[in-house]
Amino acid sequence: MPTSSTKALAGLRIAVGALFLIFGEYKVVGTQFTRGGGFQYWIGRFLQDGAYPFMVPVLKNFVLPHAKPIAFLVAYGELAIGIALVLGILVRVASICGVIYMLSLLFSANYPGPHAAFWQYFGASLEHLVLALCFAAFASTKPQEILSIRTYLRRRRSV
């Protein structure tokens, strides 16, 4: 019998998955992000607004020169994460990828500056840190045990 915390975690998994379905869908279906320079625009903004110092050479020397394939990786990666979380399949793999992705975004976009107080690093990173923590929770538990395609198929077989 699922507990209320298991149900809550499954609901959160589906909600985060739905967000990633939306994020990935508009990037995959539309061409602005992948082919129209949208990805490069955001990398430029990250560099302009302040990436963590160790990420600046990665963004300039690796990401920008390989922007188109990485843009497709991001778009289809977000879509895959969304599908996995909503359906409850490969949740741990999708969640580990989600943590890596969120930390990449956090270090690319949320640098509060070299003289910021320690707590300001967390305040500046909330938009990515919260989702990284959700993914970490999904990866370390089994939220796919309820409200997933796997449990639905198991129940149908047993009937």
Rounded Cα distance between 85 and 91, Å, is 6
Mean pLDDT, residues 81-108 taken together: 95
**Torsions phi, psi of 10, nearest 5?**
-65, -40
From start to end of 21-113, where are the E strands? none
Per-residue confidence (pLDDT) for residue 110, from 0 to 100: 86
Mean pLDDT, residues 56-79 taken together: 97
Per-residue confidence (pLDDT) for residue 99, from 0 to 100: 97
Rounded Cα distance between 129 and 64, Å, is 24
- Give pLDDT tens digits for 32-64: 999 999 999 999 999 998 899 999 999 999 999
Q: Is 117 strand, coil or helix?
A: coil
Sequence-ordered list of residues with C-beta below 8 angstroms from that of 43, at least 6 positions apart, any chain: 59, 63, 64, 67, 108
Rounded Cα distance between 71 and 24, Å, is 11
Whether residue 147 is predicted with pLDDT greater than 90 in this model: the reply is: no
pTM (two decimals): 0.88
In this structure, what DSSP letter does residue 61 have?
I
- Residue closest to 145 by CA, chosen among 99, 94, 88: 88
pLDDT band at 96 (very low <50, low <70, confident <90, very high): very high
Q: Is 89 strand, coil or helix?
A: coil
pLDDT band at 144 (very low <50, low <70, confident <90, very high): low
Rounded Cα distance between 51 and 68, Å, is 20
